[in-house]
Amino acid sequence: MSTQLAEPGSDLRTPARGVARRERPVTAAGLLTKAILLGLVVAIAIWAAMPLIDAGAWVGLAVLVVGTVGLCYLYLTPRHIPAKYLVPGTLFLLAFQVFPVLYTASTAFTNFGDGHRGSKEDAIVAIQTSSVTQVPGSTEYALSVATTGDPATGPLVFLVTDPTTGVVSAGDTEGLRTLSAADVTVAPGGKVTAADGYTLLNFGQVNARSQEVTDFAVPTSGGAIRSSGLSRAYEGKALRAYDAGCDCVRDTVTGKTWTADADLGAFVAADGERLIQGWQVNVGLNNFARLITDSTISGPFLSTLVWNLVFAIGSTGGTFVLGLLCALALHSPRVRGRNIYRVLLILPYAMPAFAMLLIWRDMFNTDFGLINNLFGLDVDWFGQEWSARLAVIGVQLWLGYPYMFLVATGALQAIPAELTEASSIDGASPWQSFRRVTLPLLLVALSPLLISSFAYNFNNFNAIHLTSEGGPFPADNSSVGATDLLITYTYRLAFGAAGAQYGFAAAVSVFIFALVAIISAVSFRRTRQQEEVYT
């Protein structure tokens, strides 16, 4: 049947196919377009190369260079015609499909998340920096940063003034030396404004050497003088230091040690206390194991999966039936003002779903919602399992049927009227001709759309998150609610209030991906078989 539909078009094209394709003449416009596009590609490559060079990411740079050179070669050579068509799509596929999938899959084997984001070196730096405390009772100095050489490169010197005595000292990596009062000019606040033998740096100059200044410490008996901003200095002491020998962090006051645990990605003390700054480590299959073994997760997982399927089938099937009914009703030539009805029916589709979902949520409010007020009901819509499920599917129905109506209308108009006329002449009732002729033809055209709509609804995060938020939740388990889809459930597990756990979320995503892929593959297979039956 489908070949029949396609025939008028292919008729026109057939003659051209027989003749061998002549090489097309090169036009100036084509040439210019080509030059501009390739120029853009190269320009983007150069723009992308800068940060890669800065970061020393040589592998990434190599991929970029090879890719760009390859693209230029491909479009400057007259050969490799099929590749010219295929490569852009392949590149986009790699960038937007394959890479994210691989990245997600690789994240699934790590403990990436809050407290475990960076490398071990980052964690050590953070632990040491945040352990620098002011020595109790020590002096607060007014600070000027100076140098004995060039402002941009010379060795740093801290000129500090003791606020109580007014004594000015110069501090460098050697220690603190008192300067004679005659050699320095001190402003009312205590800040040194000029000193013999030193070049004072202004804020801009100091800031240009920000990292140096932050790291600079003038050793003293009790600790070290460090800057607090650009105009104050304090005597501080790092309480915790990393010792590479034992791979541990030691507290200089209490002597307590936290040893690095490569499995946890954290420093752990003998008594089980962890330092909160951890790092990212490979945890193998732990995330997947947690899915199966953690009873609060695996227990509700199956029921969530079942509801997820019901939701996806219900909202896809429901919208399809409703949309098809509307389309059939308006397909009849006897209906007057069909276009007005069609516009009205498409209206919900034209509204932003995001805002509509929030409005629906408010309409389902028990005390203030339109639905209860209008019908004089007292239903706790999102507070009970079944009413909440009914509500979210109802909202999906309202939001989704215009789309189905649109595509069904289109598909109906593509079915020649002669077919149904012929079947009615053969004595078929309208229902029979719809059931045996129109519907199969429609399904051939719409099945792929239905499958993609199913896949979309399977992961319809907004529909749940913005209306019921997954609720209602069983009183004793806050992790999974009656209307939770796997995706909203994952979202809460991963990004919920308990902090981001990207590694675990990635593991669940991989699982969902596998699930949707299998369902879609099976459905597409069935569709193909169906098509073969009808053609």
| Residue 205 or 530 having the CB closest to other proteins | 205
Q: How far is the CB of 192 from other proteins (least distance, A)?
A: 16
CA dist., res. 102 & res. 501, Å (int):
18
| Residue 326 or 393 having the CB closest to other proteins | 393
Beta bridge pairs of residue 225: 218, 235
The label of the residue with tokens 């491909």 reads 74
CA dist., res. 84 & res. 70, Å (int):
11
Q: How far is the CB of 342 from other proteins (least distance, A)?
A: 34
Q: How far is the CB of 448 from other proteins (least distance, A)?
A: 35
| Residue 259 or 523 having the CB closest to other proteins | 259
CA dist., res. 172 & res. 390, Å (int):
73
Q: How far is CA 273 from the centre of its chain?
A: 33
Q: How far is the CB of 317 from other proteins (least distance, A)?
A: 27
| Residue 245 or 352 having the CB closest to other proteins | 352
| Residue 386 or 431 having the CB closest to other proteins | 386
| Spatial CA neighbour of 266 closest among 494, 106, 114 | 114
| Residue 19 or 76 having the CB closest to other proteins | 76
Angle in degrees, 0-180, between the axes of helices 502-534 and 439-458, rounded to the nearest 10: 180
What is the separation, in whole angstroms, between the first and last Cα of the chain? 5
| Spatial CA neighbour of 277 closest among 442, 125, 89, 111 | 125
- Per-residue tokens: 199: 């070049």
| Residue 286 or 453 having the CB closest to other proteins | 286
| Residue 55 or 310 having the CB closest to other proteins | 55
Q: How far is the CB of 390 from other proteins (least distance, A)?
A: 15
Q: How far is the CB of 114 from other proteins (least distance, A)?
A: 6
CA dist., res. 124 & res. 48, Å (int):
31
| Spatial CA neighbour of 84 closest among 44, 37, 131 | 37
The label of the residue with tokens 């033809």 reads 441
Q: How far is the CB of 97 from other proteins (least distance, A)?
A: 22
| Spatial CA neighbour of 275 closest among 134, 122, 132, 124 | 124
| Residue 28 or 533 having the CB closest to other proteins | 28
Q: How far is the CB of 68 from other proteins (least distance, A)?
A: 10
DSSP per position, 314-344: HHHHHHHHHHHHHHHHHHSTT-SSHHHHHHH
| Angle CA 445–446–451, to nearest 5 | 130
* CB 266, CB 281: distance < 8 Å: no
Q: How far is CA 412 from the centre of its chain?
A: 39
Q: How far is the CB of 310 from other proteins (least distance, A)?
A: 21
CA dist., res. 300 & res. 296, Å (int):
7
Encoded amino acid at 14, one letter = T
**3-state SS, residue 118:** coil
Residue 250, Cβ neighbours under 10 Å: how many? Answer: 17
| Residue 42 or 449 having the CB closest to other proteins | 42
Q: How far is the CB of 66 from other proteins (least distance, A)?
A: 17
Q: How far is the CB of 180 from other proteins (least distance, A)?
A: 27
| Residue 58 or 203 having the CB closest to other proteins | 203
